[in-house]
Structure 1
């Protein structure tokens, strides 16, 4: 996902606060379940290309199916159901909750809110370079992805 376009974060979706918030929450959930996206967030009920970090399988999944409790099985040919929870826990140890990236990500509700509004403005102004920079701060890979997802929920709560 390094094509240098906003679509690497939001597939065919405008960078509205709702879409950016949903994408950040979806990326946090994928991270928690040890999936990695192979394309931008397409929306919750659209097939999303993903890669299983347990075995390397690549295919399509609905995010709406992944946001539920940990599934008993992941896909055909993956780890046995009895081993999945333990493997997820082992892989999840890389998540620190602290962003140590060279370009800090928005991991507080205030920072997420401000950055999302700046992204919407940059996109409306046609500033693709600034839009991509801000999208990276909201949705780029980071060891604090789960924290950023929680910040997104607090910044733009659903009513």
Structure 2
């Protein structure tokens, strides 16, 4: 209890970092990434923790040991492997550096981006995961800022984005339905995009399965550039993104079942 009373968490910044003072001494920051908390004191190793209080307590320990922040804060999005940080598209629609490039994450990213289009948002950076601040633009009024995908997708799978007011200064709630209806008219059920690099974006389960299989084969062979080229076809903006995301989910589930069956057969 004594340790908890000695530190103060400041206001979270746009990147999700909380500044921490210990006995009124600037000690570093704590932040949450994909279910875990981390304590960061510039000039010292980042420490993983179970919750924000444990993370802050680590900074208290460092201060008590005579440590002080030195040098610039470490970059919060440093890739942990050659695969991580790989930009999968030519635009903003790529995974952020610390989100591992895997089939599961790629499908989640495609689903999130498709749903953002339905809700009137345009992502301005790659999909960071459900519980991380995501820079995006409101297509109803042009506002730019960070929102959490977990808030936009709704709670307990109810599909109702929060808050209803979208963000401070947005159009009145009474005008949202018509604005979203106007945007919906721009979406299509087939891909009108020019072929790149060879074919249009995959729109049915078999085509999506071919792409996912190619990505997995490239990752298994550490052919990261090849994986990136294939990933572009499922992450690039497309007016038919909703149909593509639905097909990708079905293809991914088929892929997982096939792999599970193969492993079960080998074990017999």
TM-score by length of 1: 0.88
Give 2:248's aligned residue: 152
- Equivalent of residue 142 in structure 1, options 206, 214, 238: 238
Q: Higher strand share goes to which structure?
A: 2
Q: 5+ unaligned residues in a row in structure 2: which ranges?
A: 1-85, 155-159, 258-268
1:43 is aligned to 2:129: yes
1:61 is aligned to 2:144: no
Q: Higher helix share goes to which structure?
A: 1
Q: Displacement, 1:130?
A: 2.1
Task: Kindly tell me the number of residue pairs found equivalent between the two proteins.
Answer: 156
After TM superposition, the structure 1 = structure 2 runs for residues 24-103 of structure 1, keeping only pairs within 5 Å, are 24-68=110-154, 69-71=160-162, 72-103=164-195
Q: CA RMSD in A?
A: 2.1
Query: Equivalent residue of 1:45, what SS?
Result: coil
Give 1:20's aligned residue: 106
TM-score by length of 2: 0.54
* Partner Cα distance (2:231, 2:240) in 1: 15
- Equivalent of residue 211 in structure 2, options 94, 109, 115: 115
Q: Displacement, 1:109?
A: 1.7
- Report Cα offsets for 1:75-134 as digits up to 9, x if no partner: 000110111111011111110111021121111122222212212322343434322221
Q: 5+ unaligned residues in a row in structure 1: which ranges?
A: none
1:6 is aligned to 2:88: yes
Q: Larger relative contact order (C-alpha < 8 A, sep ≥ 6)? A: 1
